[in-house]
Structure 1
Amino acid sequence: ATFMRMKEDAMNNGQTKPGYNLQIGTENQFILNYALFPNPTDTLTYIPFMYSFAARYGHLASTEVADSGYGSEENYRFMEENGIEAYVKYNMFHKEQRMHYAPSPFHQDSFFYNAEQDYYVCPMGQHMERIGTKLDKTANGYQTESVRYRAQNCEGCPLRGSCFKAKGNRVIEVNHRLKEYKRKASERLTSEDGIKHRGRRCIEPEAVFGQMKADYGYKRFRHFGKDKVEMDFAFFAIAFNLKKMC
């Protein structure tokens, strides 16, 4: 178990308690799969959770719906390579769907990109040429690659105060692979099937967690150690599904 901040915070001071990050997969509000993780963020749980699903059923799910906590490059790549029809949001998806949403003209996503010659154009019309790449690793060891572009001359630019505050010429970093994954995800999520799946997601795992905690009072595990806690929840999941069938 890891010390985490809980949603139930009686003292309202952000205190931490030892716990697990419980992940569940549901369909028609039946619990199909569950797994427990020591890390508080959901991003790193997706791939091992899907492997646990495959170990239980002998195959990966063909269609998956998940919220923005799972929308990372590593997870999108896993879905694509395994032929999973994924309706998974990314961190800016909800904001982009607002009626009056207008991206800042000084944000790098608003810059024009010439894919053939590989350069960006800033709001003042300057070409931002490629100057190199930046490699990063996630906590899982997955390597990401971002391309760096730099403007030719920002000195004396009348838009500089609104564009950026740092010294020198503006440099942007773009993860082209993640950008393409987000574009595909947006197309799927805004399609007719995507709207239907998004509407069902809020009444699937969220409803199960609500019934679990509010209706049945199952808010904490009664054992210590991951093997015993997994046994604890397994009995609850079996009982939950049997009651749902009845």
Structure 2
Amino acid sequence: MPPQIPSKGYKTLDTNYNINQLSLNIATAYEPEDDHPAHYINQLVEKLAVKNTQVMGRPREYDPRMMLKLVLLAYSYGLVSCRKIARFARENVVAMWLTQEHQPTYRTIARFIVSTDLEAMIQASFKEFHDYLDDNGLIDEASFIDGTKILANANKYSFVWKKRTIKYSELNAQKANELLKELKVAEVKIDFTNSEMSLDQLDTVIALLEQRIAELNQRVNETVKVSPNPAKQERRHAKKYLRAAKHIRQKNHEYETQKQIAGSRNSYSKTDHDATFMRLKEDPMRNGQTKPAYNLQIMTNSQYVLGYGLMQNPTDTRTLIPFLNQLAQNEVLGREIVADAGYGSERNYKYIEDHFPDKTALIPYSTMIKENSRKWRSDDRKVMNWEYHEDDDFYINPAGVRFNFKRYAYRHDHYGFRRDFKVYQAEKFDENHRLIPQALTRAGNTKYIMVNPQWEYFKAKARHSLSNSNTYSRRKYDVETVFGNLKAYLGFKRFTVRGLLKAKRQIGIALMALNMKKLADRRRPFQNIQSKKEEPFGILSIPNGSLIIKGLCHSPLYIY
């Protein structure tokens, strides 16, 4: 007999384990625990009104709902690669439960991630998720907005700068004019008398040169024995000018294409035309090098992402207005709009007041904290520290110089927004008609100041709103935490697709997967703890499809 293993201090071996034993398999026998994110993913996707809109073309191999469930679960595990997701569907038991043991290939998953069906389902899922949280009292009326940079799937040295393109385009135009001047004094005889050269005129010159070269070829064939042959010399010069003209035309076409791709942006990547070069906080070399990326804007509440947008602008200031319009269109914008000082501008304040009068903007401006410092309040150069008389509309600086209102003025910024100013000019003479030295600059000119009343009004309104609300203090741990979970927990720091539309669909999957994970983690502590006592008897199932009858004896009885 084999030696017996002592029972004291050891666990008894399970003699029923046999991987080759015949068993009754049930495909859907396994079910995850109640607090698993897979349950929330299944409920969310099933509530979506997904219709099979396919009429023509290649038939679908898998249900879009099943594909969305699989992708959301894989992204919640930090799996972004399509090959890893395909392997995940074959080997993970939770994924097998969601897909009902369907095993799509990585190519099918890759096509689904960038499909239009996914975009519609993701947008609908965010609205459905917002309504679910609102009905269960998990969110309030605050909308926390912030942005971060996500690396694009592009080479970091494939930049095209718009200013460089404009400069080289102007130099190329100068080369075209110089070529025209050379053609007028050259031996090549073409009928072209215009003084300036444009792209259309360049095509005319090239056509005339090609026609002249064809005539010279015929003359060379007729005068083969003539040496030296003047037709050959003229043809040689004509070919040289033809090559130069074609090169200039090619460069003109290249520069115009680059300016058209860049649009209003300052740069773009050659490998991903929609990506813009931005400065990222994740800079391993710490040299401030710009990298191709997208600006991700999200709106959160209670650390749930309720809306998102992918922008091409490096700064957050210009992204607020289109993002607010998108949130309002999706009906997820709350009563309080909370953002950091990077969004505080006169244009944004004015737009919120004009288009969202029922919303409260809790957005500080850039110098709000500095204005409360002792150094700022003791600075005599700041107009806010001067004495102002509203009735007569004049300022008196600490030196006693009076600045009277003179005229109105306005300025347009780089993006066309108009700012209205009031110009105040200093009084050069006192009551005795003596010159006041403090009213003059070093060059002897009269000093003047420009005050923007609308900007001062919005600054005062922002200070009043922030002082009467405690919501702004929640911003850091509400929206910043989501970015940390996205990059650290999910490991989503770089897109795997190229193009703005495709990248927007991919980031939507990652953010919704993060919501499912957050919802499962938060609902777990509030669930009722089940009793540890076993029921008198019952029938349970295990993942391999076997049935267990409990309560009939001290040890479970397995039925295969």
Q: Same fold (TM over 0.5)?
A: yes
Q: Which moved more, 1:38-47 or 1:135-144?
A: 135-144
Deviation at 1:202, TM superposition (A): 0.7
**TM-score using structure 1 length:** 0.88
Deviation at 1:6, TM superposition (A): 1.1
Structure 1 CA distance for aligned equivalents of residues 375 and 418 of structure 2:
36
Q: Which moved more, 1:41-50 or 1:215-224?
A: 215-224
Supply the AA of the counterpart residue of 1:182.
K
The 1:242–1:72 alpha-carbon spacing in structure 2 relative to 1, beyond 3 Å, is same
Correspondent of 1:190 among 439, 447, 467: 467
Say whether residues 1:240 and 2:521 are aligned partners.
no
Deviation at 1:60, TM superposition (A): 4.3
The 1:171–1:142 alpha-carbon spacing in structure 2 relative to 1, beyond 3 Å, is same
Supply the AA of the counterpart residue of 1:108.
V
SS in 1 for 2:477: coil
Supply the AA of the counterpart residue of 2:454.
R
Matches within 5 A, 1:1-246: 1-57=275-331, 60-81=333-354, 82-83=356-357, 84-98=359-373, 102-153=377-428, 155-157=436-438, 167-191=444-468, 193=469, 196-246=470-520
**TM-score using structure 2 length:** 0.40
Q: Deviations over 1:127-152 (max 9, x none)?
A: 21222233222344321112121212
Q: Deviations over 1:22-44 (max 9, x none)?
A: 11110000001111111111111
Supply the AA of the counterpart residue of 1:13.
N
Supply the AA of the counterpart residue of 2:290.
T
SS in 2 for 1:244: helix
SS in 2 for 1:10: coil
Structure 2 CA distance for aligned equivalents of residues 208 and 43 of structure 1:
20
Structure 2 CA distance for aligned equivalents of residues 176 and 30 of structure 1:
38
Contact 1:113–1:119, Cα closer than 8 Å, also in 2 = yes
Supply the AA of the counterpart residue of 2:461.
K
Structure 1 CA distance for aligned equivalents of residues 312 and 459 of structure 2:
28
Contact 1:44–1:140, Cα closer than 8 Å, also in 2 = no
Contact 2:341–2:366, Cα closer than 8 Å, also in 1 = yes
Q: Which moved more, 1:8-17 or 1:40-49?
A: 8-17
Q: Which moved more, 1:171-180 or 1:73-82?
A: 73-82
Deviation at 1:117, TM superposition (A): 2.1
Deviation at 1:16, TM superposition (A): 1.1
The aligned length equals 238
Supply the AA of the counterpart residue of 1:77.
K
- The runs of 5 or more residues in structure 1 that have no matched partner are none
Deviation at 1:13, TM superposition (A): 1.5
Supply the AA of the counterpart residue of 1:107.
K
> In proportion to residue count, which structure has more strand?
1
RMSD of the alignment, in Å? Answer: 2.1
Structure 1 CA distance for aligned equivalents of residues 372 and 404 of structure 2:
31
Contact 2:486–2:511, Cα closer than 8 Å, also in 1 = no
SS in 1 for 2:409: strand
SS in 2 for 1:201: helix
Contact 1:122–1:151, Cα closer than 8 Å, also in 2 = no
Q: Which moved more, 1:147-156 or 1:220-229?
A: 147-156
Structure possessing the higher radius of gyration over alpha carbons: 2
Deviation at 1:167, TM superposition (A): 4.8
Supply the AA of the counterpart residue of 2:309.
A
> In proportion to residue count, which structure has more helix?
2
Structure 1 CA distance for aligned equivalents of residues 318 and 472 of structure 2:
22
Structure 2 CA distance for aligned equivalents of residues 105 and 167 of structure 1:
20
Deviation at 1:62, TM superposition (A): 1.5
Structure 2 CA distance for aligned equivalents of residues 48 and 232 of structure 1:
20
Structure 2 CA distance for aligned equivalents of residues 207 and 228 of structure 1:
25
The 1:228–1:106 alpha-carbon spacing in structure 2 relative to 1, beyond 3 Å, is same
Deviation at 1:55, TM superposition (A): 1.9
Q: Deviations over 1:26-77 (max 9, x none)?
A: 00000011111111111111110000101222x7432111111111111111
Structure 2 CA distance for aligned equivalents of residues 29 and 75 of structure 1:
24
SS in 1 for 2:328: helix
Deviation at 1:125, TM superposition (A): 2.2
SS in 1 for 2:330: helix
SS in 1 for 2:377: coil
Structure 2 CA distance for aligned equivalents of residues 224 and 165 of structure 1:
56
Structure 2 CA distance for aligned equivalents of residues 181 and 146 of structure 1:
14
Deviation at 1:9, TM superposition (A): 1.3
